Chains A and B, each alone.
Chain A
């Protein structure tokens, strides 16, 4: 088969099932792509030998009834993988090799897939451009000067460049959906609690959620089905019956009510984003959906709320990286305190330090009520906005991001403008809802743009169905020239 790697996951699975391609040949094709795409810097670690062994094992004793039969997958380097280095994009975990496998990746492997490598990401998933990684920035295959988004930037880049048939990321404030939007791919942040957080390097526990990043909606359904499920090792995991998202995928959305929130507009938003939103509305309307104007009045507080809650949790979650038991330890330092200071100063990058400082500050006595507690209250109001709206509608349509991919280095000296990139994605994390970013068009430079579908809690099937119908009628085709090889 000449170029199986530019097919969708679903097509590849069909080809494996019908024995048109072996798992070994498939794996070799991806290895070849990965080796010729070093310029993108999407991978932190590759596990080719191990992957080829697994592929061979599959080919010797294939089980075609699995959801992901013999499929090699690269995953974000935030998922702990047994015996494979897991860095979270940080120097402080530069030498960390877990003895355990995250629940989500274990679910993927149990469904027939295996690990191809670990994908670059912003350090501890803190960033919107993959420029905070200790392992260097990742390049967007869309253009050699462009960021791939973040924090799951290695994932979006690898997926768009055909270095993995599908992948997974984590989304704390948009880290799946924004990179998907920047690379013309599909990204889903599931309902909080649908995918186990066990074994994922934590950023902000009450917001973190793993999710699929794929080329198509169908692929997204397959991946979500494979990775999700109740896990008693995660106290915030939702105990419910597993759903067959791919089997139940339908493109009939007639009569569905789609909310259009008036607050999802920002100053200086490029005209193309607005036009794309209009295009999205029209497509859904033409498919028989009903558009309903709604208001989510507390949306404007979402970003500041997020930048209190997430750093607060992060400042505590990252306290364990102290050089005592694993990871990087500075050789300097004459006592315990100095060892901590040097280890953490040398081990963490600037953005992580910035957020630890913010988080420590907002939790400090005398500031707790004014910042953290107030943010928690606002968070409830944001959630209530959504709850109120969802009594009248089935889903919400918004742009995924206020702009297309920006240039490397363009925003690194202005953290606030970087944070503003997450303005449409963070409210969803604060409310714990599922949201999908789907490619919808390009701006005048030809860079992809995405639209976001937000659903009720546990309504993944519905937003996947809407996305499926949209995809069929949108006519978007991700045209990426392989300039790097």
Chain B
């Protein structure tokens, strides 16, 4: 892989500017019930059908911590190589909004459940470590729906009380590409761990993006703006680009950047001021007196650590060592747990390197085309391995393999059967091939003469004729050899 140089800078009239980005990712905890109530967390239910008395904050209702959510946060912390805090505290973040029934969000402020950690990114210019500041548990709010009625707002509390992990990065990111890699890596780690499904369309993963700029080489950070609640990587990247350019323009014009909270308007592709620092909420955080501090036994943490699955970084190392893949291949194949599982099953039964090439080529193209996850692949790993093995053994050529692949897709048949029943087996008998090639050369006497007088490009023509006449089954390597030999003579 070529080592490119990092070169994401905003060019202004007066020089180059570096963009500094920190993310607060809100990841929905994968759990059956909410953080402090027994309500279901399933996506897509009718409005207000998954709401308990606790979620809707009826008088006298009390929160009780869902242990599974705590374990999920610990697992995620361990996956981020982070410090797990044996003592953490739930605080109330007080503010009024129609979709916040309690009038406060239960969150963790001074004492989060997870402390500092790190995430490793593979960038074209090498690997880069992004620091994690903290991870804490908090409740999600409900949803206000403003466009159902001209004069009323509707509120759906299905999300109210669902557990979120807020994962705060250090301001270590420097470009939209790094943000892309970071979100994908986080998502991958959490999906491996089974702690967040990472489904951005359903809102399981959102982020607040902190952006500032500074002149190349400056040590101090510039004034940052926080872009709230961006729900796709593409929008995050667009928002960063817009925001960085806006800040550079302000600086170049001698203006000051106000520290403020901004919104990204996806239709106009711009960020807009939501509220300034002066108007910032005073959330009046204080420890929630309805909940005792969360004390975790070291044994629980150790036990969870023992049951963690192999995570992408480790798996990548192993794939390189065990399967002889290059870093790029390994990266792609470990990006999703399901992909890596599929690959390992194929690699067990066939050539490891060829399996990787064919998976990343035809299989991924097909899945992409059909919009399918690998877990829904119409071609099983076992059949795919047979196909790879047929190529490796020379039974079929790559071209025929593509044909077989299409038939497998249509019929679900195993490749051996398809090759046999359709007579697609590669012609690899040198005598028979030589006989066929001789016939072709005789038929094309004029072209042979031209070739011999120096028009060597015609070689391809002859190969094409052989393939045509063999129905594509002629062993390409052998065909080449024989053609070369006969054309010399």
Binding site for B on A (CB under 8 A): 80, 86, 88, 93, 96, 98-100, 102, 197-202, 204-206, 232-236, 312-313, 315-316, 318-320, 322, 324-326, 336-337, 340, 360, 363-365, 368, 372
Contacts and interface: CB of A to CB of B under 8 A. Distances in A.
A315 B58 CA distance: 16
B60 A363 contact: no
A201 B98 contact: no
B63 A326 contact: no
A313 B98 contact: no
B292 interface: yes
A205 B104 contact: no
A372 B91 CA distance: 14
B62 A233 contact: yes
Interface string B64-107: 11000000000000000000000000001010111001111000
Contacts of B94: 315-316, 319, 363
A67 to B, nearest CB: 24
Contacts of B104: 316, 319
A233 B64 contact: yes
A96 B61 CA distance: 14
B62 A86 contact: no
B60 A205 contact: no
Interface string B147-189: 0000001010000000000000000000000000000000000
17 contacts: A80-B59, A198-B62, A202-B290, A206-B289, A235-B62, A235-B63, A312-B286, A313-B289, A316-B286, A322-B103, A324-B98, A325-B57, A325-B58, A325-B101, A360-B284, A364-B282, A372-B286
B57 A320 contact: yes
A431 to B, nearest CB: 15
Contacts, number: 97
A233 B282 CA distance: 31
A88 to B, nearest CB: 7
Contacts of A337: 96
Contact of B96 (A197, A201, A312, A340): A340
Given A80-B59, A202-B59, A316-B103, A322 B290 contact: no
Interface residues on B, range: 20 to 34
Contacts of B97: 336
B102 A320 contact: yes
B56 interface: yes
B92 to A, nearest CB: 5
B103 A80 contact: no
Nearest to A318: B103
A219 to B, nearest CB: 26
B138 to A, nearest CB: 16
A37 to B, nearest CB: 28
Contact of A93 (B59, B282, B291, B292): B59
A340 B102 CA distance: 14
B59 A204 contact: no
B486 to A, nearest CB: 87
A9 to B, nearest CB: 26
Contacts of B145: none
Contacts of A322: 96, 98, 103
Interface of B: 53, 56-65, 92, 94, 96-98, 101-104, 153, 155, 282, 284-286, 288-292
Given A98-B58, A202-B60, A319 B96 contact: yes
A313 B102 CA distance: 13
A234 B63 CA distance: 7
B65 A235 contact: yes
Given A205-B290, A236-B290, A319-B104, A336 B60 contact: no
Nearest to B53: A100
A99 B290 CA distance: 22
A136 B285 CA distance: 35
Nearest to A199: B60
A166 to B, nearest CB: 22
B101 A235 contact: no
Given A80-B60, A313-B289, 16 more contacts: A93-B59, A98-B60, A197-B62, A199-B60, A205-B289, A234-B64, A312-B286, A316-B103, A316-B286, A318-B103, A319-B104, A337-B96, A360-B284, A363-B94, A363-B284, A368-B285
Nearest to A234: B62
A324 B58 CA distance: 11
A86 B286 contact: no
Most chain A CB within 10 A, of B56, B60, B96, B288, is at B60
A98 B59 contact: yes
Given A360-B284, A363-B284, A320 B62 contact: no
Contacts of A232: 64
Contacts of B291: 235-236
B58 A326 contact: yes
Contacts of B92: 316
B286 A363 contact: yes
Contacts of A318: 103
A234 B92 CA distance: 17
A150 B92 CA distance: 29
A396 B290 CA distance: 29
Contact of A197 (B60, B153, B155, B292): B60
Contacts of A99: 53
B286 A320 contact: no
Given A206-B289, A340-B96, A319 B59 contact: no
